[in-house]
């Protein structure tokens, strides 16, 4: 699924919740790297713009600009685009997840074996390529909680704990 479609679906769902529960919402998105396909954006209930202007004397689009600048400045533990990372499927957890703090989300496990592409069937290759192209499968940086768990597990493993 394309990220743009996914964001649109979230916006529609938030508006539906707003209508059904008589509530308000506010959402901003910002990309962390310049060449990301994610576009910075802002959406919310109609009254949110007035809230920012009246209560805080701020324009939400100025906040979005600052949010985007912050996201681009903030160091991210993921590799930069174009950086070559050797992928060893047998040691993925150590070489990729532990070392670079990124992981694959949405691998079609029931249809495609987690092996190097040279060992995949043409049918498996087509499925995984389609999965990455449509956004069903993608790389994602670990959350802070996931990163801590990975680091704790690595320390236990290195200490010889079961």
pLDDT of residue 162: 62
Question: Any idea where the domains of the chain sit in the sequence?
Answer: 3-73, 89-159
Higher-confidence position of 108 and 122: 122
Q: Reply yes or no on whether the pLDDT at 5 is more than 90.
A: no
Strand ranges in the chain using DSSP code E only, listed in sequence order = 26-29, 41-44, 102-105, 138-141
Question: What DSSP state is assigned to residue 93?
Answer: I
pTM for the complete prediction? 0.48
Q: Which residues face 104 on adjacent strands?
A: 139
For the stretch 115-161, pLDDT in tens is 888 999 999 999 998 888 888 888 888 888 898 999 998 888 888 86
pLDDT of residue 22: 92
Q: What is the mean pLDDT of residues 12-35?
A: 87
For the stretch 24-49, pLDDT in tens is 998 888 887 766 777 788 888 888 88
Using a 10 angstrom Cβ sphere, with 0-12 exposed, 13-18 middle and 19 or more buried, the burial of residue 118 is: exposed
Q: Reply yes or no on whether the pLDDT at 17 is more than 90.
A: yes
Q: Cα–Cα distance between 55 and 70 in angstroms, integer?
A: 23
For the stretch 54-102, pLDDT in tens is 998 998 888 888 888 888 776 555 566 677 778 888 888 888 898 888 8
Q: Reply yes or no on whether the pLDDT at 21 is more than 90.
A: yes
């Amino acid at each position: 699924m394309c990220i743009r479609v996914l964001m649109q679906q979230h916006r529609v769902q938030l508006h539906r919740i707003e209508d059904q529960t008589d509530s308000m919402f506010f959402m901003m998105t910002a990309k962390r790297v310049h060449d990301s396909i994610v576009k910075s954006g802002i959406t919310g209930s109609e009254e949110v713009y007035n809230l920012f202007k009246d209560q805080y004397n701020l324009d939400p689009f100025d906040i979005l600009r600052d949010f985007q600048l912050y996201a681009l400045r903030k160091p991210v533990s993921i590799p930069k685009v174009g950086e070559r990372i050797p992928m060893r499927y047998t040691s993925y957890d150590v070489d990729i997840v532990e070392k670079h703090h990124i992981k694959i989300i949405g691998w079609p496990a029931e249809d495609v074996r987690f092996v190097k592409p040279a060992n995949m069937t043409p049918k498996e290759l087509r499925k995984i390529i389609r999965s990455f192209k449509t956004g069903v499968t993608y790389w994602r940086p670990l959350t802070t909680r996931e990163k801590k768990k990975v680091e704790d597990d690595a320390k236990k493993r290195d200490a010889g704990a079961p």
